[in-house]
């Protein structure tokens, strides 16, 4: 029911949107079209396990909409992947790309698998099999996959390699068929940190607009690529990172952690628990362990869910004490939770804006591949700042003008671009 839930949030802007444009019938048509993805691909992936047995895994690629350009979106490896989830995330990609004004549409892919249960070789075989199954439907001018939850540049490198092998072409432009590749393999500088960097840019714009004074306290759920990099950038900008967590649990200190040291400690110990690193020192007396549930309910200025969807729902929405929520995960709030928090006056900076840094730098990676260029990290971050600041300012103006939430303003901004193209 995830898709219905998310689309319901989107439907709330329909009447308002109709009052802003000329052709009301066209708006009705467009909503009908966007309520269904354009194509859903389901594949079965046989994998010969190292014990000699064959196991079949389910995979998906759902292409939601391509009115603005080729489909674009990540691929996740996760045991609970299903059509409904991938469809929802594909829809959000359509909106996200339109919002940042990228000439791209929306898609998402996934394999129902726990990658931690696979050997390196099995992971490679499964990734290559997935590309063989969706090959006909992807390419630089059709659909460009990228990393997402539990996938990274190593997996994308296997995928682009398989793609190029099948296409039997030496045209380097074909490297643009996937983004999030490693730097050595025509990936972009800064892509790895891009989603976190984007979150920092958007939050900074917000803090400037409403004139908040630092240090602001921050709790971040999720210490993967997105959560870690964002924590690192926010620490550098003098935010106080009082709580961090991974899937196994969290840590808390009123003094505020140094995320880079916490990461070093986590790598050594295999878990975040006990990694109470402040300044340049880690010490067991500096902090305490907390649960993921408690982290979400902490009394902080800014709460940042950076892991999975629906973590804030009817069960905990009333207990949320943060004043601002920066949605770095896709869809971390259920529709009901969104409503409860809006009523409580919590400011929600929506996923489609907050985490759009990743796909924006993916777009830069495509441009570099297609034009045979190599941008420095400085240039990548400078361009990212331009794109995201522009999107933020447009959304902010619209929010002020219409007196609506940032999510509604983002939906309207994105829809306006799709409507104009339709």
Q: How far is the CB of 175 from ligand GLU (least distance, A)?
A: 15
Q: How far is the CB of 96 from ligand GLU (least distance, A)?
A: 6
Q: How far is the CB of 72 from ligand GLU (least distance, A)?
A: 5
Closer CB to ligand GLU, residue 337 or residue 359? 359
At 280, list the tokens: 């340049």
Torsion angle of C-alpha atoms 354, 95, 399, 402, degrees rounded to 10: -170
Rounded to 5 degrees, φ, ψ at 48 are -80, 110
3-state secondary structure of 194: helix
Specify burial of residue 143 (Cβ count, 10 A radius: 0-12, 13-18, 19+).
Answer: buried
Q: How far is the CB of 177 from ligand GLU (least distance, A)?
A: 12
Q: How far is the CB of 93 from ligand GLU (least distance, A)?
A: 6
Catalytic hit among 9, 72, 108, 181: 108
What strand order describes the sheet that includes 71-77? 39-48, 54-65, 106-111, 71-77, 143-147
Closer CB to ligand GLU, residue 189 or residue 297? 189
Rounded to 5 degrees, φ, ψ at 241 are -85, 90
Closer CB to ligand GLU, residue 153 or residue 334? 153
Closer CB to ligand GLU, residue 273 or residue 360? 360
Query: What single DSSP character describes residue 136?
Result: G
**Cis (ω within 30 of 0) for the bond into 215?**
yes
What crossing angle do the helices spanning 406-421 and 377-402 adopt, rounded to 10°? Answer: 100
Element holding 305 (H helix, E strand) = strand 302-305
d(CA 340, CA 85): 23
Closer CB to ligand GLU, residue 198 or residue 250? 198
Neighbouring residues of 252: CB distance < 8 A, sequence distance ≥ 6: 242, 243, 287, 288, 289, 290, 294, 295, 298
Strand partners, 221: 245, 305
Q: How far is the CB of 350 from ligand GLU (least distance, A)?
A: 13
Q: How far is the CB of 138 from ligand GLU (least distance, A)?
A: 12
Neighbouring residues of 7: CB distance < 8 A, sequence distance ≥ 6: 35, 91
Could you confirm whether 108 is annotated as catalytic? Answer: yes
d(CA 35, CA 28): 11
Residue indicated by tokens 């309207």: 412
Closer CB to ligand GLU, residue 81 or residue 216? 81
Give the distance from CA 65 to its chain's centroid.
18
Q: Give the residue closest to ligand GLU by C-beta.
A: 74
Is residue 9 within 8 A of residue 338, CB to CB? The reply is: yes
Q: How far is the CB of 377 from ligand GLU (least distance, A)?
A: 17
Closer CB to ligand GLU, residue 317 or residue 329? 329
Torsion angle of C-alpha atoms 34, 392, 229, 140, degrees rounded to 10: 50
Closer CB to ligand GLU, residue 113 or residue 177? 177
Torsion angle of C-alpha atoms 340, 406, 330, 137, degrees rounded to 10: 130
Give the binding site for ligand GLU (CB under 6 A).
72-74, 146, 148, 179, 330, 355, 358-359, 362
Catalytic residues: 108
């Amino acid at each position: 029911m995830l898709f219905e839930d998310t689309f319901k949030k989107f439907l709330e802007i329909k009447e308002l949107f109709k009052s802003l444009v000329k052709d009301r019938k066209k708006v009705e048509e467009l909503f009908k079209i966007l309520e269904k993805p354009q194509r859903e691909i389901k594949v079965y992936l046989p994998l010969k396990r190292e014990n000699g047995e064959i196991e079949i895994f389910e995979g998906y690629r759902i292409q939601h909409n391509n009115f603005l350009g080729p489909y674009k979106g990540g691929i996740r490896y996760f045991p609970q992947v299903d059509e409904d989830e991938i469809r929802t995330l594909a829809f959000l990609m359509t909106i996200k790309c339109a919002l940042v004004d990228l000439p791209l549409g929306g898609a998402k892919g996934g394999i129902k698998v726990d990658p931690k249960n696979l050997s390196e070789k099995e992971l490679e075989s499964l990734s290559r099999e997935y590309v063989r199954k969706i090959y006909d439907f992807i390419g630089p001018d059709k659909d460009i996959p990228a990393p997402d939850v539990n996938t990274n540049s190593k997996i994308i490198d296997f995928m682009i390699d398989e793609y190029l092998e099948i296409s039997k072409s030496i045209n380097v432009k074909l490297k643009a068929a996937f983004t999030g590749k490693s730097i050595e393999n025509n990936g972009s500088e800064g892509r790895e940190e891009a989603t976190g960097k984007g979150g920092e840019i958007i939050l900074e714009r917000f803090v400037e607009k409403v004139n908040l004074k630092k240090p602001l306290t921050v709790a971040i759920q999720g210490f993967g690529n997105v959560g870690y990099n964002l924590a690192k950038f926010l620490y550098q900008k003098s935010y106080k990172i009082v709580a961090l967590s991974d899937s196994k649990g969290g840590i808390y200190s009123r003094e505020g952690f140094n995320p880079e040291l916490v990461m070093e400690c986590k790598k050594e110990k295999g878990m975040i628990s006990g990694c109470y690193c402040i300044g340049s020192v880690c010490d067991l007396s500096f902090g305490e362990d907390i649960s993921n549930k408690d982290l979400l309910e902490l009394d902080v200025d800014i709460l940042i869910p950076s892991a999975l969807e629906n973590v804030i729902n009817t069960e905990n929405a009333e207990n949320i004490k943060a004043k601002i929520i920066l949605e770095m995960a896709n869809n971390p709030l259920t529709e009901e939770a969104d409503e409860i928090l809006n009523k409580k006056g919590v400011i929600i900076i929506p996923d489609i804006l907050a985490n759009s840094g990743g796909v924006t730098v993916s777009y830069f990676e495509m441009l570099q591949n297609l034009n045979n260029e190599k941008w420095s990290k400085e240039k990548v971050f400078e361009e990212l700042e331009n794109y995201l600041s522009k999107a933020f300012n447009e959304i902010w103006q619209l929010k002020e003008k219409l007196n609506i939430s940032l999510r509604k303003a983002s939906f309207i901004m994105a829809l306006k671009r799709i409507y104009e193209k339709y």
